[in-house]
A and B are shown apart, each in its own frame.
Chain A
Amino acid sequence: MKLSGAEIFIECLKKEGVKHIFGYPGGVVLNIFDLLYDNKDVKLILTRHEQGAVHAADGYARVSGRPGVVLVTSGPGATNTVTGIATASMDSVPLVVFSGQVPTMLIGNDAFQEADIVGITRPCTKYNFLAKDVNDLAEIIREAFYIATTGRPGPVLIDLPKDVTSGKTDFIWPEDVKIRSYNPTYEGNKWMIKQAAHEITKAKRPIIIAGGGVIISGGHKELKELAEITQIPVAMTLMGLGGFPGTHKLSLGMLGMHGTYYANMATQNSDLIVAVGMRFDDRVTGNVDGFAPQAKIVHIDIDPTSIRKNVRVDIPIVGDVKFILREMLSILKEESKGQWTEIRKAWLSQIGQWKKARPLTYHSIDDVIKPQFVVEKIYEITKGDAIITTEVGQNQMWTAQFYKFDKPRRLVTSGGLGTMGYGFPAAIGAQIAFPDKLVIDIAGDGSIQMNIQELATAVLEKLPVKVAILNNRYLGMVRQWQELFFHERYSYSHLNMVPDFVKVAEAYGAVGLRATKAGEVEPLIEEALRIKKPVFMDFIVDWKEKVYPMVPAGAPIDQMLFEEEEKKAEKKLRAVK
């Protein structure tokens, strides 16, 4: 029996085990939407903007580990997905995005709602396809899922001309995929792994830096075992949070621009860095030339281009984190006779001193709500076990600092691209993947307005996502930079008008709550969590609050600014006056 391209699309999704897709209809994808109308196997979540659909699919993918699927129409529908695709690409998230396209006969004619989306998304996808013939469709979809989910995962786009979805052919599902020019390496070079293990046995002041690759590969157990056996402290990148338990005594928390003092000091003073599934982003390294001057670097990553891109590497190991850590463990376990605790004593006590000297902190003033306090309370009340998404900016950094993630796939945040408006739709996607889990978006008043229309999606789909808005009436991170580096010239960072988020929530049929005093924070969160509906929690926070510590852009990461120093300077100033 012959199937249409649209029917093949549905059959392929079923074969891939896809139950939910995110999207928005339009002219050239109506053949597919017509089938989705009464399909029992594949349910479409209708967002209010295509960007929201991609972020939702992305959130779904990050918490579940399964590929997120998107279906949009041609032209503006397709171009609206670009930010979402670039976000997923930077953070290695497996997505398969289907965009409608004008009929093949019209391609290149500047037809109505035509855009060269394959050309536009070429640099921000892992791969993309234009399906020109319905006979190739099943194979293309199979390959797209394969490419998106293997090796270093990433987004793949398939452009579907209208006549391809209506054309008919025999449906043959290709069981095996083999792409001769695409063969990711999983098992690391044994000799290199041996060398790395040898370096670990020799090192006096080693640290592990764990990145998102630990979580993607599912190697968090192996990482924990490695750290515990060899007593090596673990710093994490933003994407790596949860890859190692944040409450573990060997955890240094996040390193980098807004990392902890002790993570940055440990990095700078280490003699060996074991970098696991991370890519030495500039937010992690600060000034590259001044980065970890005494350290030998072992770099484990599945993407060879990540290695020696930003920093020198002494022992490169290309492959899957989980495979490689297992191999490394088997070597180190043999050498392990409980001697590590003794060997690490001096180094761990030095780190203990750093931890004691400058813990993460903030200063409460009377009844003013400090944004960090809100994050801390959310952490306490949820016992650290909620799925937390964030927007981008101060809200994101405070979450990274004050919510201790003990498990992987609990923090969902746009790390690489830094996309404002990401967190709320991502929370929606995460809630679709885990309907029974608590999902909270920690947002700013700027970011939440970038995809606030998705409230409709959350309400209609009965998704009880919670949004904690740290409302400071500013683009806080921009304001912070302007205060510190631009002589307090707050150029366009003051939002002047912020809508009444409680009323906005109510207008959409959700619930809105507001706290203006510190004492109201805890009861408000508890109330919000009892409500089985989407809730906006509007926290009117101290607008002057800044994210500390901070490494100014371009400085080495041990040259940090601290709140205490700022307070002292202020005091002095007041005394002079």
Chain B
Amino acid sequence: MRHTISVLVENKFGVLSRISGLFSGRGYNIESLSVGETIDPQISVMTIVTTGDDWVIEQITKQLNKLIDVIKVTDMTELDHVEREMVMVKVAPRQDDKAEVLRLAEIFRGRVVDSSQKTYTIEITGDEKKIAAFVELMKPMGIKEFVRTGKVAIAREGIKKK
């Protein structure tokens, strides 16, 4: 099963390689990994998407916790949470398809961030399903380049009823 794990780490050099080395050394998968500073510049947050059965996921979280630079490990999959990813797609549609590309971008609340005589670059943010759907629709339009950030995830806060 796929799990999204959020890891708070000390923002020091070498931490990323400790984490990625742990995954490669022990034969765990990384589907995506994103890193960035938190509000506290001494702490970074990594969002790791990985797959494995319960035994493997338990080992992954324990092994992550064991690393000296890891402050906190949260398996987001166990919590109510929001996941987002951003992709940028550069498409080169035929003249006839140009309007369709823009229309689809609008439907998916994408933005055109660059355009040329032959191409549009569209930025789109969403969860996995939305991005997959958009990519499917863009494929026939002629994708030239495609980049994605990897997922980030955050836990939802419950709302207290008055």
Q: Which residues of A contact B (CB under 8 A)?
A: 118-119, 122-123, 126-127, 130, 147, 179-182, 303-305, 308-309
In the complex, chain A residues whose CB is within 8 Å of the CB of B21: 122-123
User: Cβ of A181 and Cβ of B14 under 8 Å apart?
Assistant: no
Q: What's the nearest-Cβ distance from chain A to residue B48, in Å?
A: 17
Q: Say yes or no: is B63 at the interface (Cβ < 8 Å to chain A).
A: yes
In the complex, chain B residues whose CB is within 8 Å of the CB of A122: 14, 17-18, 21
Interface size class of B (residues with CB under 8 A): 10 to 19
In the complex, chain A residues whose CB is within 8 Å of the CB of B25: 123
Q: Please, which residue of chain B has its CB at the minimum distance from the CB of A123?
A: B25
5 interchain residue pairs of minimum CB distance? A181-B71, A305-B62, A127-B68, A304-B62, A123-B25
- Chain A proximity mask over B1-29: 1 for CB below 8 Å, otherwise 0: 00000000110001001100110010000
User: Cβ of A304 and Cβ of B66 under 8 Å apart?
Assistant: yes
In the complex with contacts A122-B14, A122-B18, A181-B66 CB distance below 8 A: no
Q: Please, which residue of chain B has its CB at the minimum distance from the CB of A305?
A: B62
User: Cβ of A147 and Cβ of B68 under 8 Å apart?
Assistant: yes
User: Cβ of B68 and Cβ of A182 under 8 Å apart?
Assistant: yes
Other A-B pairs beyond A122-B17, A122-B21, A147-B68, 17, CB < 8 Å:
A119-B17, A122-B14, A123-B22, A123-B25, A127-B68, A181-B10, A181-B68, A181-B69, A181-B70, A182-B68, A304-B66, A305-B59, A305-B62, A305-B66, A308-B55, A308-B58, A308-B59
In Å, the complex CA distance between A308 and B22 comes to: 18
Selected A-B contacts with CB under 8 Å, 14 pairs: A119-B17, A122-B21, A123-B25, A130-B14, A147-B68, A179-B68, A181-B10, A181-B69, A182-B68, A304-B66, A305-B59, A305-B62, A308-B59, A309-B59
Which of A118, A130, A303 is the one whose CB lies under 8 Å from B66? Answer: A303
- Chain A proximity mask over B41-64: 1 for CB below 8 Å, otherwise 0: 000000000000001001100110
Q: Please, which residue of chain B has its CB at the minimum distance from the CB of A303?
A: B66
Q: Say yes or no: is B65 at the interface (Cβ < 8 Å to chain A).
A: yes
In the complex, chain A residues whose CB is within 8 Å of the CB of B70: 181
In the complex, chain B residues whose CB is within 8 Å of the CB of A126: 68
Chain B CB within 10 A, most for which of A123, A127, A179, A303: A123
Name the interface residues of B65-116: CB closer than 8 Å to any CB of A: 65-66, 68-71
Q: Please, which residue of chain A has its CB at the minimum distance from the CB of B70?
A: A181
In the complex, chain B residues whose CB is within 8 Å of the CB of A127: 68
Q: What's the nearest-Cβ distance from chain A to residue B69, in Å?
A: 6
User: Cβ of A304 and Cβ of B65 under 8 Å apart?
Assistant: yes
Q: What's the nearest-Cβ distance from chain A to residue B118, in Å?
A: 41
In Å, the complex CA distance between A309 and B62 comes to: 10
Q: Please, which residue of chain B has its CB at the minimum distance from the CB of A127?
A: B68
Q: Please, which residue of chain B has its CB at the minimum distance from the CB of A151?
A: B66
User: Cβ of B63 and Cβ of A305 under 8 Å apart?
Assistant: yes
In the complex, chain A residues whose CB is within 8 Å of the CB of B66: 303-305
In Å, the complex CA distance between A179 and B65 comes to: 14
Q: What's the nearest-Cβ distance from chain A to residue B28, in Å?
A: 13
In Å, the complex CA distance between A130 and B134 comes to: 46
In Å, the complex CA distance between A303 and B55 comes to: 16
In Å, the complex CA distance between A305 and B68 comes to: 14
Q: Please, which residue of chain B has its CB at the minimum distance from the CB of A184?
A: B66
In Å, the complex CA distance between A123 and B26 comes to: 10
Q: What's the nearest-Cβ distance from chain A to residue B70, in Å?
A: 6
Q: What's the nearest-Cβ distance from chain B to residue A291, in Å?
A: 15
Q: Please, which residue of chain B has its CB at the minimum distance from the CB of A304?
A: B62
Q: What's the nearest-Cβ distance from chain B to residue A139, in Å?
A: 13
Q: What's the nearest-Cβ distance from chain B to residue A372, in Å?
A: 38
Q: What's the nearest-Cβ distance from chain A to residue B23, in Å?
A: 11
In the complex, chain B residues whose CB is within 8 Å of the CB of A179: 68
In the complex with contacts A181-B68, A305-B62, A118-B55 CB distance below 8 A: no
In Å, the complex CA distance between A179 and B28 comes to: 27
In the complex, chain A residues whose CB is within 8 Å of the CB of B55: 308
In Å, the complex CA distance between A459 and B96 comes to: 88
Q: What's the nearest-Cβ distance from chain A to residue B73, in Å?
A: 11
In the complex, chain A residues whose CB is within 8 Å of the CB of B65: 304
In Å, the complex CA distance between A308 and B53 comes to: 13
Q: What's the nearest-Cβ distance from chain B to residue A446, in Å?
A: 29
Q: Please, which residue of chain A has its CB at the minimum distance from the CB of B63?
A: A305
In Å, the complex CA distance between A295 and B146 comes to: 54
In the complex, chain A residues whose CB is within 8 Å of the CB of B9: 181
Q: What's the nearest-Cβ distance from chain B to residue A304, in Å?
A: 5
In Å, the complex CA distance between A304 and B62 comes to: 7
In Å, the complex CA distance between A147 and B65 comes to: 15
In Å, the complex CA distance between A118 and B71 comes to: 21
In Å, the complex CA distance between A179 and B10 comes to: 11
Q: Please, which residue of chain B has its CB at the minimum distance from the CB of A181?
A: B71
In Å, the complex CA distance between A127 and B58 comes to: 22
In the complex, chain B residues whose CB is within 8 Å of the CB of A118: 14
In the complex, chain B residues whose CB is within 8 Å of the CB of A180: 71
In the complex, chain A residues whose CB is within 8 Å of the CB of B62: 304-305
In the complex, chain B residues whose CB is within 8 Å of the CB of A305: 59, 62-63, 66
Q: What's the nearest-Cβ distance from chain A to residue B12, in Å?
A: 10
Q: What's the nearest-Cβ distance from chain B to residue A152, in Å?
A: 9
In the complex, chain B residues whose CB is within 8 Å of the CB of A130: 14
Q: Please, which residue of chain B has its CB at the minimum distance from the CB of A143?
A: B68
Q: What's the nearest-Cβ distance from chain B to residue A181, in Å?
A: 4
In Å, the complex CA distance between A126 and B21 comes to: 13
In the complex, chain A residues whose CB is within 8 Å of the CB of B14: 118, 122, 130
In Å, the complex CA distance between A119 and B58 comes to: 26
In Å, the complex CA distance between A303 and B59 comes to: 12
In Å, the complex CA distance between A544 and B17 comes to: 48
In Å, the complex CA distance between A127 and B63 comes to: 13
In Å, the complex CA distance between A304 and B70 comes to: 15
In the complex, chain A residues whose CB is within 8 Å of the CB of B58: 308
Q: Please, which residue of chain A has its CB at the minimum distance from the CB of B69?
A: A181
In Å, the complex CA distance between A147 and B63 comes to: 16
In Å, the complex CA distance between A534 and B9 comes to: 50
